[in-house]
Amino acid sequence: MPVVTVRARGITLERLVFKVAGGLVPGLVERTLEANPDLAQASDEHAVGTRIVIPEVGELERARTILPLRLVD
């Protein structure tokens, strides 16, 4: 499982998981919380330097990924 380090202020778990996965993967935030039980008690925005384990995304999950929508080119 990849370990990601928060490198900027104002990063939420949902935003970090979305960025790492390349889109919205249903259930990935919940699986990330299971892999990092201490995050559930943390604040919404994680401190710079926080290390978070994000579970791997399988091929079936990747096929169900909702890609980001760009409003402006």
User: In this structure, are residues 4 and 37 in contact, taking their beta carbons and an 8 Å threshold?
Assistant: no
Q: What is the pLDDT of residue 72?
A: 84
> Does 4 or 63 have the greater pLDDT score?
4
Q: How much is the mean pLDDT over the chain? A: 88
Can you give the pTM of this predicted structure?
A: 0.80
Q: pLDDT per residue over 30-62, tens digit each? A: 999 999 988 888 778 888 999 999 999 888 877
Pairing of strands 51-53, 45-46: unpaired
User: In this structure, are residues 36 and 53 in contact, taking their beta carbons and an 8 Å threshold?
Assistant: yes
> Does 26 or 1 have the greater pLDDT score?
26
Task: Return the bridge partners of 51, or none.
Answer: 5
